[in-house]
Structure formats: C-alpha cells, structure tokens
Amino acid sequence: MNLALSDEQVMLREAAREALSRVKTLEAARAALDGKQSLPDLWPTACEAGWPGLLIDEQHGGAGLDAFDAMLVAEECGRVLAGVPLLGHLAATAILSAAANATSFLPANASGERRAAYLPARPPADNDGAWSTERRSGLGREPVPAVGPTDGDGHAAVEGACAFVPDAPGAAVLVGAGERDGEIVAFAASSEQPGVQIEPVTRYDATRSLAHVTFAGAQAVILDCPIDALASAWHLAQALLAAESIGAVASALEVTVQYAKDRYTFGRAIGSYQAVKHQLTEVLRRMENGRSLLYYAGFAYRGAPAEFPLAAAAARCVAGGALDYAARAMISIHGGIGATWEHDAPLYFRRAQLSRLLLGGTEQATGRVAGEVFALAAR
Amino acid sequence: MNLALSDEQVMLREAAREALSRVKTLEAARAALDGKQSLPDLWPTACEAGWPGLLIDEQHGGAGLDAFDAMLVAEECGRVLAGVPLLGHLAATAILSAAANATSFLPANASGERRAAYLPARPPADNDGAWSTERRSGLGREPVPAVGPTDGDGHAAVEGACAFVPDAPGAAVLVGAGERDGEIVAFAASSEQPGVQIEPVTRYDATRSLAHVTFAGAQAVILDCPIDALASAWHLAQALLAAESIGAVASALEVTVQYAKDRYTFGRAIGSYQAVKHQLTEVLRRMENGRSLLYYAGFAYRGAPAEFPLAAAAARCVAGGALDYAARAMISIHGGIGATWEHDAPLYFRRAQLSRLLLGGTEQATGRVAGEVFALAAR
Amino acid sequence: MDLNDTPEQAAYRARARAWLQENRAQAPVLSGPGALTEEAEIIAARRKWQGRLAEGGLAGVTWPEDYGGQGLGPVEQVIAGQEISRAGVPGILDAIGVGMLGPTIIAHGSEEQKARYLGPMLHGEEVWCQLFSEPAAGSDLAAIQTRARRAEDGSWVLSGQKVWTTNAQFASFGLLLARTDPDVPKHNGLTMFVVPMDAPGVTVRGLRQISGEAEFNEVFFDEVHLPADADVGGVGNGWRTALTTLMFERVTIGLGGEGLGYDPLRFARALLAAGAQRDPLVRKRLGEIAAELTAVRFTGYRVLTALQQGQIPGPEAGLAKVTTVNSAIAAGDLIAEVLGPDALASESEWAYMISFLPGLKSAGGTEEILRNTIGERVLGLPAEPRLDKGVPFSELRAKETAAQ
Amino acid sequence: MDLNDTPEQAAYRARARAWLQENRAQAPVLSGPGALTEEAEIIAARRKWQGRLAEGGLAGVTWPEDYGGQGLGPVEQVIAGQEISRAGVPGILDAIGVGMLGPTIIAHGSEEQKARYLGPMLHGEEVWCQLFSEPAAGSDLAAIQTRARRAEDGSWVLSGQKVWTTNAQFASFGLLLARTDPDVPKHNGLTMFVVPMDAPGVTVRGLRQISGEAEFNEVFFDEVHLPADADVGGVGNGWRTALTTLMFERVTIGLGGEGLGYDPLRFARALLAAGAQRDPLVRKRLGEIAAELTAVRFTGYRVLTALQQGQIPGPEAGLAKVTTVNSAIAAGDLIAEVLGPDALASESEWAYMISFLPGLKSAGGTEEILRNTIGERVLGLPAEPRLDKGVPFSELRAKETAAQ
C-alpha cells in the first residue's frame, strides 16, 4: 500500500506546471471571452511535452503511461484554466489503443500531429440499458449515431449527431460509439470529409472548446475493440474532467487564502473571521475528498477495472461540487471586486458552471455512483 | 393590508401560553420516553380553554374562529412540545363543520366531550390523480378505505386501514375520506364499535400520539360535505403541523441563544463567534420565513382557498426544515451536553425527526408546492 | 389580519389606476415592438416619465407634501408599485434618489438644500447617485478613505475613489461620505456632502461584472472643489447621516423582494417549457425555491404592517435579501441543469441571471456582516472583539499597511 | 502508486490470517446465535480475547517490541484490522488505551510506569480510560478546572469532574489532566496523572445519550489521594503530554473512517430492501453520500502513506471525521424518509444511528474548532483575537463568572 507519487510522476507534474506557466492563460481566457482575440493554441506546448501520447504505448510512439499520469497533467491544465484539448484527445486515444486494427493511426496521434476527439457516449447503467449521447438542449439523452454495414475495406457509413463534443473543433479524427443492428460498435472517422460537420459552439467559458458534430453518410473505420474500452473511455473522460476541476479548485483556494490574509476589515485580516476561515476549510475539505477519489480512479483504471465506473463517477461528483463551491467562495470572500470582469474569480465561476453540464452532467455522475453501489449491495 | 394580530388573537395566544405553562411538558416528555410514566392528559386544559371548538361555529357551541387562530394555539403547543391531541381533532372538526348532516355531532366535539381524529387522506396532485393514505412502512401510498352502499339510516360499512393516524388513541370519532364506486366520500365512524381497531404506536417522540387504524365492516355516517372540505382538511393538518414546528423552533432558539451568551470558551462567550452567531441567525431566518408562510396559510384558508394548498404546503416545507435545522443547531451549540438524555435538545430533535415523516412527509409537501406553482405557471 | 385595502387605500388605488389608465400611452416602451434601444434615449424617456408619475402622485408617495410628495404611508407606496406593475409601464428611474437619498436630505439637509434639490430629484430632472462604498470600505463602511480637506476659505477639496455606484454615468448629483478628520476614531471623522457629478475632477468609469455588462461604476475624485455649505447634516456627523440613508435602504429592501424579478412562476414557466415538470428532482428543488420566495413575499407584507404602525424595520429585514438571492441562485442551477449548456449561451436570460447573482450577494453588505449585525442586534448575542474601537483612523491604517 | 502489499506486508498479512484461522474459535461471539448477552460477561470475554490478540501479534502492532508490541508500521496495523474484520471476530476492547494512552506513556512516562502499566494494558488485564474533557472544558481543553493540590508529603489530592469518558465503568486506570497551578496562564499550570479508578473518592456515573443508552460516563473526584510519583511527563508539563495523546488520537481518527460502520453498502442494502433503488431523489442522495464516504476511505490510505513515510498527519485529518459524520447524518435522513416512522422505532438500527450521530459530531472537539485549527495551521490564516493569552487561569475564571 503506497499512494505516494513516483519520482517520475512528480517530474511530470512539475514539467507540466512549468510549461503552462509560460502562457498567461487567465489573461487569455478573459480576452477570448471579450471577443478581443482568440485563445493561444496550446497544442504545440502539449506536443512538446509529450502529452498527446500519454496513454499510447511506447511501441507506437507514446509514453505508455497510465490514467493517473494523464490526470496529473489534466490537473495542471485546470489549475491555470488552460484550454488544452487533451480531454477529448486522451479519451479517444484510449479507445484507439485498445483496437487491434488502429495501431497504424497511433504514431500520429501520439506525436500530436493528428489530434483526436472523443464523441461522448454514456454506457448503460443499472437503471438505463441504452448507450446515449448528449442532446443539444433540455433533459434527456439522444441515441448514439447509426452505423451501416462494413464494406470490404473495413469502412462503414455513419449517420447521426453528438452535441457539445469537447475539443472537436480542429480535431483530425473523431472516435466514438455507434449502433448497428442493436449492437454497439466503436468507430473512428476523419473529420476531413464532406459527411462530417463540426459546428463550433462557445458557452460561457471561452477556454472550453466545444462543437456539435453531425455525421451524414460519413465514412468511418470500424474499430476492432471490446465494448469495455468504449465504456472505459466515458469514465476516463469523467475522471479527467474531475482532475481538471481539482486543479482549478487548488489555485482558486491559493488565491483566496492569500486575499483573506491581506484584506483587512474592522481592524482584522478577513481570514481571521470564522465565516471566511470556515468557508476556506470547506473548500479544502472538498478538494481533499476530490483528490482522494482521483487516486482511487487512477488506481482502478487498470488495477481494478470493475471499480473504475464507481471511482470515476465519484471523483466527478465530488470534484464538480468542489469547483462550484470554491468559485462561489472565491467571489464572495473577495466581496464585490470578485464579481467584476477584471478579476479572475469570474473565470473560475464560468469554468465551474459549464463543466457541471458537460459529459452527461455532474448530476448523472452522482446517479451512477448510486447505481454502482446498488449493484455491489445486490450481490 | 394588515398582517398584525388582532387584540383577540394576542389574548388567545397569551392565554394558551399561560395555560400550558402550568404543566411541566418537557419533563413529562422525557419521563414518558423513559417509560417511567405516561404523559399528562392535556385534553382537560384544552377543553377549559375552548380549543376543541375553535373551528366550530358559535351556533354549534364553538368559538367560530379561523385557521389562523388554530395555528396560534398549535404554535404555543409546539413551543413547549405539549402533547395536546388538537391536530387530529381540529382537522376532523373542519370536515364535520362543512357537512350538512353532522351538525348534531358538533356541540359534543366543540366542548371536547367527544374528541375527534382526522384520518389523513392526501388529495390528488398534478402528478398523482389518486386520493391516498399513509402506508405502515416504506415508500409509496395506500388507497383510502373502501365504503359500501349507504343504508336507510345514512350509514355505510367501511373496510380498510390508515397508518400513523395522529391523535387517534382515545378519540371517540374518526373522520376521513373513503372511496365508493370510484368516488370519494367523507365519513365519520365512532371508534366505540367492534369493526374499528385502534392500535397505538409510539415512534421516537413520546409526545406524539399515533395509531394504526383498521376498519373491518365498521359502521360510518356518510357526510354530506363537498370534497373540497376533505382536501382542505389535509392542507389544514399540514398548516397546523407547520405552526407547531415554528413554535418549537422559537423556544429552541431562545434556549440556545441564552446558552450562547452564558457559555465561555477561549475567554469569550461562544455567541460572539461567527460560527455560532451565524448558525443562530440561520435559525432565525428559517423561523421568520416559516412564520410568514403561516400568515399566508392563515389568510388563504378562507381568504383565498385556491391558494391554500400552496400556502399550507410551503409552510410545512419551510417549517419542517426550520425545526430540523434548529434542533441540530441546539445540540451542536450546546456541545456534548446537548446530546445527553437530561438535556432538552434531544426532545426537540426527536420531535423534528418524527414530524418530518408524518402526514405524507415534509418531502411530499415540497413536491406539492412545485405542483401548485406549475399549475399556476401553466395558466 | 387582512390582505385587503382599507377604504382609504382602495380610494388611493382607484385614483392611481385611473391616472395610469389615462397616462399609460405616454410611458416609454422598453421591450417588445417599438421599444427604445438607445441607452441615452431610454434614460431621457424614463426621466420624463418619472416627472409625470410624480405629477400623478405615484412617485414620492411617502414624501411630505411640502416637498412635492403625497404625505401618504408605506402601504400606499406599495399600492403605487403594484398598480404601475399591473399597468405594464416602467416605474421611476431614480429609485435610489427618491427612495433613500431624498429622505436623507429631508431628514438632515438645510432648508436651502431641500429647496434646491428635492423638486428636481423627484421629477427626474436631476438623477442622483449614492457615493458611500469604496474599494477598502465595503463591509466596514466607516473605514472610508476618500478625503475632504477644508481650504482656507472654508470650501472643501475632495480626493478619493468610490465604487459600486449605480446610475453614476448619468447622475447630476451624488451624496458622498468623506473623511474630514483622520485623527479621531473612524466613525467620528466623517461628513456627508452633495457633489455635482459634472464638477471638474470627477471621473466615472463603468465596472463590468461577470456577465460582461457594466452594472455599476467606479467614481474617481481628483481635487474636486466643493462649496463650504456642501455638507449635509453637519461636519463630523457623516456617520449619523449615513445611518439614515441605510435605514431607508433597509425599508426599500424589506419591501422590494419581488422587485428583483425572481418570481417562482418565471422559473416554473421555464421548467414547464422544457417538459421537466414531472421529474422528482426538479419538483423537489423548485418546491424549495418557491416556498422560500413565497415566504419572502409575506415577510414583505409583515414589514409593511410594521411600518404602517410606525415601527422601523430592524436589520432582520436583510434576511429577505439573503433568502431571495440564495433561492435565485438555486433556481439558476436548476434551470441550467434542465436546459443544458444553452442556458449559458450569451443571449440567454438565465446566463445573465446566473452571472448577476454572485455580485448581488455582496451588494449592500455581505451576508456575513448582515448575519453578524442580526446576531448582535436582534438576537442580542455578544459582539466579536473589536480591535479598532477608539483608535484614530490614521493609526489603524498604519497598522494594516504594516501587516501586509 | 499501489494499493497492494509489499512482500513484507504480504508476509505479515499471511501470518495474521493464519493465526486468526487457528484461534478464531476462541473469540467471543457478540451477535447471532450463541451470542453473549450480559455486559459483564462480554467485557470479561473481550479482555481475554485482547490478551490472545496481543500474544498473536495483532494488538500493539506499532508498539516497540520492548513493551510487548511488534515494532511494525502503521500499514501493518491496518492490515491487522483488515484481517480481524475479515475473520469476523471482535477487535481489541481497549482501543483507547492501546491506541492513544499507551503510546503517551511510552513517550513521556517514567521507566517504572512503563514497566508497571504497559503489559497489563496491552493484554487487556487492565483497561484504561482518558480523563481529559470537563463540562467547562470541551473545545477549550486547556480550560480544565479539576484541581490537584500537593500535600506536605509530596503526594497529591485530586478534586473535580470529568465527562465524556468512554469505558470508565470498567477501567482500572485513567490518564487524567489536572490543574496544578492556577496562577499561571492556562496552558502552563497543567499536569498529567495516572489515577487508579478504584481509589476512594472516584465515582463513575453513566451519561445517557439521545438514544437513551449510556455511551459515555461522568467521573467525579472527591479528595482522591495520589502518590507523589503519579504524574506522567513532569509537573506543569501536562499540556505537552496531552498534545501527544491528541496526536495519537488524530492518527486513530485518520485511519479509522471505516471503523464507525458507516459504509455506503450498508445504506444501499437498506434502500434496496425497501425497493427504493430507482427513485431519482434516492439515487442522488445516496450517490452523494457514497461518493464522500468512498473519498474518506482513500483519504485514509493517503494518511497511511504519509505515516509510512514518517510524516505525522496534520489537523486536516480531522476533516475525514467531518465528512463521515455529515454523510452518515444524510444517510439517516434518507433512510428514515424511505422507511417512514418505523425507521424511528426503538429497536431499529437506524433510530440508534440517527440518535448517536448528533453527539458524535461534537465528540473529540466540535467541527467549528477543528475548522479554526485547520484554517490557521494548514491554510495559514490569521488566528482570531485571543482574549485569554497570558492571563493567569484564576483571573480568567473570575472574569467569566462576573460576566454571567
């Protein structure tokens, strides 16, 4: 039993922090929101650091690391609200790595030359037997795209849509789940074809790259991979979002603690008041709980795959709540100034509000935790 | 527009407080819980004060007052956790008063000579078209008792059961809703007949008199009253429970504020610490919100009957939350001593925990608020 | 206990309704077809409309008749608001001036000030703004640093910065709290002034909020000259004068829960439109929100009853704001979850609400300070140890600076 | 990062498992058929079983070998707990003595004390209790008033009252914190003592909780005589000695989240049995509870990793208790709503849990004090102004009494 980071993991984290510190990501986020300029492209930074290949094995040009390592990088990206399109890419490469017939794609994915994006497809749960994907608006879910018969080259036509796909704008390849004759199959489609439409959308948080993706007779490779890999990618995406969120909580906490030490009211630093102090310890409590669940998810991804859905969903549930709480505490402890455009707090707030609604939403993750626990209890 | 109490209402409240102060209700509650002695019978006190006839008009021996007056008395009972069986009696007399053929019963009900108990029957809501009554255990609801054909004397046979009926033990007459040929009818049955079984049950709060009531071919008078009166009695019972709860919150707050002034830690009265002070202002906030809704319910009962379900459900929802919060704050601010048997705080806690589950439960009241608001919004 | 009008109130309501019926065609159109779009045009039209409302007896309802008011009670003021809302026309533009600053001048101003300022304020000819809060004086209002120094000729020179100022961009005057003596304990060295917003040295800068819109302003004062008689209520009495303004603010908040537009029906309509009305989680959450917001409405009626009986609402009236803001935040959360990311689209009314609320939470004093005040003044709990009592303001500042 | 045993740990686990396999038949049966029912019988059997566990190397795992321990690390201690739980046998009776008081004596006791007390403690021959808290010294532990006065011959006379004492009713000894000098500031005048619980003048009284059961005791000391060498760690050093005990308490809490029996599976089984597993509200609430309790389990592993690396867990370990207690309270609420009033029947396990938790919330320090400590010591936030610093204890007491 040892939950300490290895020396390599500490180095990975430090290197990520260092690489990201070279870009003024928060300033860029505010400027992008203002429509003044587009976000800096952080993909070259990611490629230089080797992040695109984190989950691809070494023989295919990757680093052959584990989900926990990917989460460490995601955490560092979240810490500075950096818009690095890793969430979609890493989940997609996890599927491609599991497919026997996708090995030829991997080197370009690993180097980052061809960026991939994951089409979120929620696997069945104890109370819902269907695979489903995001709807453009409102409650409820949509079926995953329909896949036609495979031709001689292993290709098939795809019809359907996925809404609010993270990191889809600019991705070269789209990887996800489709349905054929009542069975779920994995597919990979190049975005550079007329049958694929990627419609970028911005919602509230300019650092979050999103698109509605539509397939109209698009040609896709049917991946020879187990359905488990598709399900695992969904949970991996949840865990990465959780890691990002915990990173953002950590920096929001640092900034707010510092302000609470520096700002005086009624002759005392505001951090000496219980109302402020206890709010900040609540941020800490939620952050530490979230972080513990990141360890669980990181361990379970390969160490206990049957527990990975529980671990990832629990991490998302707790981390999402932590970020929402931390962003609101950041604003309220800063007083009025925390709600102004020039301050960083609104950027954390926007990050929290949108993150909560993506990839099925934090609420569905909470329901999944219950479902997994009910399943264990029923044994 | 004037929400002030009339002089008569102030007198009614003061008289109630005075009458109840003559009995050591909290000590009695603890002794009863201990099984050491049974609760003092407070019905004679109620009769002397004229409370049984509060909602019965003067020509039938009552005081001819309004729901708000009844709520004032309920609040005073709640303040000292007095086990006065008014909740069941007042809701029952509201139905009897509305029945053209029950006037001969009223004088004995008004004097308190014959005590009545209301069989809780939840009227249909926007998302549930059926009338239903409490189940002995678990989620879900039971149908109301079945009523047979009326004989020449206006009597009919009743079959069925109602669980956790407040104030049923010792009641002379049981009043509630039954179903006949798909229609809802109101009935009144004497408890002094072999077809009626009243099985007293105690759950956690010894001051709350409860019974499971079973009808096996019991003879009942079919009441000639509008179904609206049956529905209104349900909401009235919710409002009375809310009023009781707000009374308990008020006294819990007083006791806890006093302790927070007297108890010192680290050289300061604990009430000077924000963590304590803010908890107590939260009790105040919830109490004041609850009290405002009691005014709404009191006004709506006759002043705006279409709004009474919303008002009563909202009052129950907020008052129930207020009592739960107040009882927990009382324990936690008192530190360890607040969790000991000799202290009064556990009595408030027990009152809160059981109240939350009676008469459909606080949660269903919250759902009813939503249903009423949706209905208004759909217009 | 009665929610209905007395005969006198009913008569006032009838008069108000009749006047509105006759004059509503003159009201500016702010939404729908034919609505005004230019900011300047809207302000001009609303100022003019405020003047008409004042003539019709629907503005300054509680002001004494001597100053152009109706000399009526708070219930009539609420009735005027209800009738204006019922007629679907805008209310007065300068609610801050008429509701809080005018009454302060009535209470503490000189006869010359009352004669000069009250009429144009009531009729919307001159809009006012409240210049109290500062970057380093929010919760701790008495810590303000804006400095007014007396010149040899008795006139004043003003320097400093104010923040969170509504309407400053088009106001003619501001009521400003400044420090005139830093060498006495902080509550004692303050004075209230009337400041012409077009005086040289006054600069107004919009302060953008989370939503991107400039809801408030910062106002900078760089050696602004004020005449010797610009003080309201006497030199060194500024804290007392400010407390009067804050008391009227509290009355406004106590009565105005619904004024923020956080109506349970509005939320319910959005959820109905999304088909979410049968979802048990949605029902639970909407039910709690609606119950609390309904409570606030009746708390307002209770405050009104107390006002009618001549009582001044205590600080507990501020709890209504806490309830309103937190319920609206919960509603924003719920609606966003039901509608999905589109609720956060830049043109969405919900994105606007979700963005506006975190700032509103601190506006007019943080929830924490409010809870302190209520705990101490309403529940009688002992105060926190104060380290700033009796210490000259200049020393306090020196200490803080040293600590940082 | 690895949740698996190292080879050494695996070897220890195998030894523990084998020993338990061989000896489990000797363990007392506490529930099910053939269970012991008499309190005295249960205590006697558990004491005997503790002795066997100690012989088998499953008690005092981290104690030095010199004192009968295994000289192993915290992971092995957790492994012992896991294997005991897996074997379905009771753990040690005197977890407070072996986990907290014994290590304090090892750290601060004299050689005579170690020789006399540690062996019988570890083997369950003499059970110990912790006599720190008092009615007026809960959060503010250093405010204790129990007084030990030195007699002419150097012996001590003890008078006062302790409260919240677990196991006092059958303990042989207590470790007691008393005030030996009231004329110095409160942290300085304290001394730790060993007190025989059968000494004349010691009275133990059960303290019933909300549930009606006596989970704790009050202990009264009326002129109890102690020998001159009864102090542990030196006269006037009591606060330092107590901090050692509290540090071991924190380790126990940090590792013991699951020990309280608040397991999400237990809650899920109750909800499943009631058929509530498809109710969306139930799912949301159980999901949140289970996520938090699962987090606490992994927080425990993180603490263990830190301990293994020689780090002492900081006060933030106490947040795990906050999470556990609040999640269990939420679970009690949920289960009561699903099962209805029968969940509150006197024989219900849920009624017991619901009753027990409000007291547990304050046990070992209130949540508020814990959050203060964490805010100051972990986040580095400034302390609240302290009015009791450097003031002699006797003066402080006089002030408080005057204020009441």
Q: Is there a contact between B4 and C1 if contact means CB atoms under 8 Å apart?
A: yes
* Whether residue C272 is found in the same domain as residue C355: yes
Residue D365 pLDDT exceeds 70 = yes
Closest residue on chain A to C186 (Cα): A266
* Whether residue D174 is found in the same domain as residue D73: no
Q: What is the pLDDT at residue C403?
A: 64
DSSP label at D256? Answer: -
Residue A252 pLDDT exceeds 60 = yes
| Nearest chain B Cα distance for residue D401, angstroms | 9
**Region D164-177 average pLDDT:** 96
- List residues bridging with B180 in a β-sheet: B183
User: Which of D279, D281, D286 to mutate against chain C (most C CBs within 10 Å)?
Assistant: D281
Q: Is there a contact between B2 and C269 if contact means CB atoms under 8 Å apart?
A: no
Q: What is the pLDDT of residues A46-81, one digit of tens each?
A: 999 999 999 999 999 999 999 999 999 999 999 999
Picking from B226, B222, B227, the residue whose alpha carbon sits closest to that of residue B102 is B222
Q: What is the pLDDT at residue C256?
A: 56
Check residue D179 and give left, alpha or beta (phi > 0: left; psi -120 to 50: alpha).
beta
Choose among A273, A278, A377: nearest Cβ to D269: A377
At A34, is the pLDDT very low, low, confident or very high (cuts 50, 70, 90)? confident
Q: Is there a contact between C368 and A268 if contact means CB atoms under 8 Å apart?
A: no
Amino acid in the structure at residue C130: Q
Closest residue on chain C to A324 (Cα): C333
Q: What is the CATH number of the domain that holds C357?
A: 1.20.140.10
Residue C260 pLDDT exceeds 80 = no
Q: Which of the other chains make 3 or more beta carbon contacts under 8 angstroms with chain D?
A: A, B, C
Q: Is there a contact between C284 and D279 if contact means CB atoms under 8 Å apart?
A: no
What's chain C's average pLDDT? 92
Structure tokens at D369: 């004090």
Q: What is the pLDDT at residue C34?
A: 86
Q: What is the pLDDT at residue C250?
A: 78
d(CA B124, CA B122): 7
Domains and their CATH numbers in chain B: 7-111 (1.10.540.10), 116-225 (2.40.110.10), 229-377 (1.20.140.10)
Residue D53 inside a domain? The answer is: yes
* Whether residue C218 is found in the same domain as residue C292: no
* Whether residue C79 is found in the same domain as residue C179: no
* Whether residue D76 is found in the same domain as residue D160: no
At D391, is the pLDDT very low, low, confident or very high (cuts 50, 70, 90)? confident
Choose among A288, A311, A368: nearest Cβ to D316: A288
How much of chain C, in percent, has pLDDT values that exceed 70? 97
d(CA B117, CA B169): 9
Catalytic site residue from C76, C152, C249, C384: C249
| Nearest chain A Cα distance for residue B333, angstroms | 15
Angle at CA D184, nearest 5°, toward D181 and D186? 85
Q: What is the pLDDT at residue B1?
A: 72
Instruction: Tell me how far apart the terminal alpha carbons of chain D are, to the nearest angstrom.
Output: 56
Q: Residue for token digits 């060993």? A: D194
What is the b/e burial string over B168-180, where b = at least 16 CB atoms within 10 angstroms of the residue's CB? bbebebbbbbbbb
Q: What is the CATH number of the domain that holds D166?
A: 2.40.110.10
- Contacts of residues A264-267 at CB distance under 8 Å and 24 or more positions apart, as own/partner, are A264/C136, A264/C400, A264/C403, A265/C138, A265/C139, A265/C140, A265/C143, A266/C139, A266/C140, A266/C143, A266/C384, A266/C386, A266/C387, A266/C388, A267/C386, A267/C387, A267/C388, A267/C391, A267/C396, A267/C399, A267/C400
Q: What is the pLDDT at residue C255?
A: 65
Q: What is the pLDDT at residue D72?
A: 94
Q: What is the pLDDT of residues B153-183, one digit of tens each?
A: 889 999 999 999 999 999 999 999 999 999 9
* Whether residue C268 is found in the same domain as residue C212: no
**Which positions in chain B touch A273 (Cβ < 8 Å)?**
274
Q: What is the pLDDT at residue D257?
A: 46
Q: Which residues touch C149 (CB under 8 Å, ≥6 apart)?
A: C156, C157, C159, C180
Residue D110 pLDDT exceeds 90 = yes
Q: Is there a contact between B275 and A273 if contact means CB atoms under 8 Å apart?
A: no
**Is C368 one of the annotated active-site residues of the chain?**
no
| Nearest chain B Cα distance for residue D24, angstroms | 37
Task: Compute the half-sphere exposure of residue D360: CA atoms within 13 Å on the CB side of its CA.
Answer: 21
- Tally Cβ neighbours within 10 Å of residue C255: 24
At C257, is the pLDDT very low, low, confident or very high (cuts 50, 70, 90)? very low
* Whether residue C263 is found in the same domain as residue C372: yes
Q: Which residue range forms the structural domain that includes residue D215?
A: 128-240
Residue D260 pLDDT exceeds 80 = no
Q: What is the pLDDT at residue D259?
A: 59
Q: Is there a contact between B275 and A275 if contact means CB atoms under 8 Å apart?
A: yes
**Region C203-229 average pLDDT:** 93
Name the residues of D annotated as catalytic. 249
Residue C314 inside a domain? The answer is: yes
Domain boundary among C179, C209, C240: C240
Lowest mean pLDDT among A299-313, B129-143, D112-126, D279-293: B129-143
d(CA B367, CA C277): 10
At C261, is the pLDDT very low, low, confident or very high (cuts 50, 70, 90)? confident
Q: What is the pLDDT at residue D256?
A: 56
More confident residue, D399 or B324: B324
**Residue B341 contacts residue D212 (beta carbons within 8 Å):** yes
Residue C115 inside a domain? The answer is: no
CA dihedral C358→C359→C365→C369, nearest 10 degrees, is: 30
What's chain A's average pLDDT? 96
Residue C245 inside a domain? The answer is: no
Residue B211 backbone phi and psi in degrees, to 5: -150, 150
Which residue numbers in chain B have pLDDT < 50?
none
* Beta-carbon pairs below 8 A across chains A and B: 10
Residue C19 inside a domain? The answer is: yes
Amino acid in the structure at residue B63: A
**Residue B288 contacts residue B322 (beta carbons within 8 Å):** no
At C402, is the pLDDT very low, low, confident or very high (cuts 50, 70, 90)? confident
* Whether residue C214 is found in the same domain as residue C298: no
**Region A95-110 average pLDDT:** 96
Q: What is the CATH number of the domain that holds C6?
A: 1.10.540.10
Length of chain A: 379
**Which positions in chain B touch A278 (Cβ < 8 Å)?**
274-275
* Whether residue C236 is found in the same domain as residue C307: no
Residue D235 inside a domain? The answer is: yes
- Tally Cβ neighbours within 10 Å of residue D132: 23
What is the b/e burial string over D379-392, where b = at least 16 CB atoms within 10 angstroms of the residue's CB? bebbbbbeebeebb
| Nearest chain B Cα distance for residue C211, angstroms | 28
At A314, is the pLDDT very low, low, confident or very high (cuts 50, 70, 90)? very high
Q: What is the pLDDT at residue D254?
A: 64
**Which positions in chain D touch B266 (Cβ < 8 Å)?**
139-140, 143, 384, 386-388
Q: What is the pLDDT at residue D403?
A: 64
Angle between helices D349-362 and D318-339 (to 10 degrees): 150
| Nearest chain D Cα distance for residue A192, angstroms | 41
d(CA C146, CA C129): 16
d(CA A35, CA B286): 44
Distances (CA, A) of C130 to C103, C145, C193: 13, 16, 11
* Whether residue D288 is found in the same domain as residue D344: yes
Domain boundary among D50, D69, D93: D93
SS3 D184: coil
Q: Residue for token digits 């678990």? A: B138
Domain boundary among D176, D211, D240: D240
* Whether residue C372 is found in the same domain as residue C268: yes
Q: What is the pLDDT of residues D14-51, one digit of tens each?
A: 999 999 999 999 999 988 888 888 989 999 999 999 99
Residue D145 inside a domain? The answer is: yes
**Which positions in chain C touch D284 (Cβ < 8 Å)?**
281
- Contacts of residues B58-64 at CB distance under 8 Å and 24 or more positions apart, as own/partner, are B60/B97, B60/B103, B60/B106, B60/B107, B60/B110, B61/B106, B61/B107, B61/B110, B61/B111, B62/B93, B62/B97, B62/B106, B62/B110
What's chain D's average pLDDT? 92
Residue C219 backbone phi and psi in degrees, to 5: -130, 125
d(CA B68, CA B61): 19
Q: Residue for token digits 């187990």? A: A226
**Residue D304 contacts residue D78 (beta carbons within 8 Å):** yes
Amino acid in the structure at residue B283: V
Q: What is the pLDDT of residues C33-73, one digit of tens each?
A: 888 989 899 999 999 999 999 999 999 999 999 999 999 98
**Residue B163 contacts residue B142 (beta carbons within 8 Å):** yes
Distances (CA, A) of B264 to A278, B260, D365, D388: 20, 8, 15, 11
Choose among B33, B203, B361: nearest Cβ to D337: B361
Residue D241 pLDDT exceeds 60 = yes
Domains contained in chain C, number: 3
Distances (CA, A) of C10 to C70, C301, D317: 16, 17, 65
Residue D360 inside a domain? The answer is: yes
Q: What is the pLDDT of residues B101-111, one digit of tens each?
A: 999 999 999 99
* Whether residue C217 is found in the same domain as residue C316: no
